[in-house]
A and B are shown apart, each in its own frame.
Chain A
Amino acid sequence: MIDLSNISKQYAGVAGSPAVHALTDLSLRIERGEFVAITGTSGSGKSTLLNILGLLDAPTSGRYLFDGQDVSGLSVAESARFRNRRVGFVFQSFHLLARTSALENVELPLLYSDRASIDGLGQRALEAVGLADRMSHTPSQLSGGQQQRVAIARALVNEPDFLLADEPTGNLDAQSAEEIMTIFRSLNDAGRTVILVTHDPNMARFAQRIVRLDRGRVVSPAPALQEAR
């Protein structure tokens, strides 16, 4: 499904300092139905990789094929449509709209879709994460774990091709983190592709496959091994 080849990302250095190489010549394939954890220390380039996977940012060079189609050169509008239909983002800090009900938060991606009717989709997504009884609650009335479940429901509501979770348990206590990972696990069991970015080995173990990054390169499994797959 996802085929990254020779992706590099450089950020222009500030005021004459040398350019920062966030990713260097990175290649990665992810198949439909996989649960992949991308790990690495901070500064390893995993957030940059997540942004590129989600088309929030464009690589400096390299090619990104999605279902065989090159998406690295999409226009701003096409990228937005891609994110809306194909990607479900889950963030460390939830990014829920304050003073807005769980249901309205979940429905947000639907507002930007070209669906004629959005009735019932938000409710179904909340039911899927076990929050059918919290639909009218605002984020401040929900626990951290519940807030992240709302965010997962939001990521699911538009039936995306893959979920892209950026440290989704980073702001949660151990028990809530476990719950959230169990949800990802069961979503994957039901056939959903999940890409998890985390520095935490305890969370990474929920994945089928772990890709370790260091200074912008894949270090484990060795790229050669990956090619062999």
Chain B
Amino acid sequence: MTASRLVSQGVRAMRRYKLRTAFMMLGSLVGVAAISFVMSVGQSAKVKMLRTVRQMIGDQSLVVVGRGSRMMGGAHAGAARLTIDDIAAVASAVPEVEAWDPSAELRTSVRFGDASTTARVIGASERFERVWGRGVSAGETFDASAVASSARVALIGETVARELFGSQDPLGSELLIGGVPVRVIGLLERYGIDLHGMDRDNEIVVPISTLMRRLANMDAITTAKLIVRDASTQDATERDVRRVLRERHGLSVDQQNDFSIISSIEVQQMMGTVQRALLVYLPLAGGIVLLVGGVVAATLMLGAVNERTGEIGLRRAVGAQPRDIRDQFLFETTLIIVTGASIGVVLGYFGAQWAGNRMRLDVGFSWVAVAVGLLAAALTGLAAGVAPARRAARLQPAEALR
């Protein structure tokens, strides 16, 4: 039988036994959809995570988080306060700390004229740009004297600028943050949406003293980021920082830390674990689904050979060679599984786009995922088809026709 006849016979058989075909497709469909989904989303999630982590933590830094801050899941009763003085003491006691920036924040309404919006207002030091790696795209940042004098100056993000000023140039204008007039001196560099889906351009940065004294009444900061001079000794530096903070907080040996330290090295290790889980275990799970699907398909196809004994006998009677019968069932099994896989690829693609939208990821189309998925499915199909094809080819025509 020629190849084209084999193909058309296979397609007809799929149509003839729709329900069985559907069940046989299921495994490869789900398995390959999972593989292509994960490979598409995983790749862009990885890129985005790395970028965000680099922006937040950087390569060599420690982030000290006070207990009682929002980042640790809400205030604890009796939580110790993390103060600017704590961090300043750390910086002077640990020479490995190259630069540091304290930060506190507040979510409040901001107004300009009739326009108003709600934004995240962050208090920072003059070392904000150096420590967080985010500068201004227009205007200028504030300096140490502005921090010392609690100056009413602000750097605003793009979203805030658009909400309040529209197409107007915001530089030099005074906006009201919770009723306090503050002058816009700079436009923050564009950041985009972070991993939590938060719009990081809907932010205003003011001197930390301004935030703590003028905009709110705070005496503790939420976090501080410390840049470490030498990444190779970062673990030792982290121990030093912890020791100094424990001394300042008067913690005895049996008391737990009332702060936490997030190290960029730990974060990177954690990211590696997450990535491995995403890019290795999920496709592996997809592969197992595919395997199970292959076993199911083989079983269904063996049943089909029994059910179609008469057809096989007839084909033999009208001149089919045993190898024609073998090829027919092998091809039919493979065709069904690969068709299921193709649908899976399409579903995986749309699923990845949908998930990408929700996670605000730019999900591309992974040709590698398609190739891997279809190849795996084709191999599964061939493997699943071997036993049914052999059984079909071995039937004796006279017996099959009975």
A residues engaging B (CB < 8 A)?
51, 54, 56-57, 76-77, 80-81, 83-85, 87, 89, 91, 93, 95, 97-100, 104, 108-109, 111-113, 154, 158
Contacts and interface: CB of A to CB of B under 8 A. Distances in A.
A112 B1 contact: yes
A112 B327 CA distance: 13
B401 A91 contact: yes
Contacts of A109: 318-319
Given A57-B398, A111-B1, A99 B318 contact: no
B319 A95 contact: no
Contact of B314 (A51, A85, A95, A113): A95
Contacts of B311: 95, 97
B392 to A, nearest CB: 14
Nearest to A113: B319
A154 B16 CA distance: 20
Contacts of B9: 111
Nearest to A91: B401
5 contacts: A80-B319, A83-B319, A84-B318, A95-B310, A112-B324
B318 A56 contact: no
B317 interface: yes
A83 B319 CA distance: 5
Given A83-B318, A111-B5, 17 more contacts: A56-B317, A76-B321, A89-B318, A91-B401, A93-B310, A95-B310, A95-B317, A95-B401, A97-B314, A100-B12, A100-B16, A111-B1, A112-B315, A112-B319, A112-B320, A112-B324, A154-B318
Nearest to A85: B319
B12 A80 contact: no
A193 B52 CA distance: 84
B15 interface: yes
Interface in B1-31: 1, 5, 9, 12, 15-16
Contacts of B314: 91, 95, 97, 108
Q: Which of A77, A87, A111, A112 has the most CB of B within 10 A?
A: A111
B16 A98 contact: yes
Contact of B316 (A80, A104, A158): A80
A50 to B, nearest CB: 9
A77 B321 contact: yes
A84 B319 contact: yes
Nearest to B320: A112
Interface of B: 1, 5, 9, 12, 15-16, 310-311, 313-322, 324, 396-398, 401
Chain B interface, DSSP helix/strand/loop, else mixed: helix
Contacts of A91: 314, 401
B85 to A, nearest CB: 84
Contacts of B313: 95
A77 to B, nearest CB: 5
B267 to A, nearest CB: 60
Nearest to A154: B318
A111 B12 CA distance: 14
B317 A83 contact: yes
A56 B397 contact: yes
Contact of B317 (A54, A100, A104, A111): A54
Nearest to A48: B398
Nearest to A116: B2
A149 B324 CA distance: 26
A108 B315 CA distance: 8
A85 B324 CA distance: 16
Nearest to B322: A76
Nearest to B319: A84
Contacts of B319: 80-81, 83-85, 109, 112-113, 158
A109 B316 CA distance: 9
Q: Which of B5, B310, B318 has the most CB of A within 10 A?
A: B318
Q: Which of B15, B310, B317 has the most CB of A within 10 A?
A: B317
Nearest to A57: B398
A66 B5 CA distance: 31
Contacts of A112: 1, 315, 318-321, 324
A89 B320 CA distance: 13
A84 B401 CA distance: 16
Contacts of A54: 317
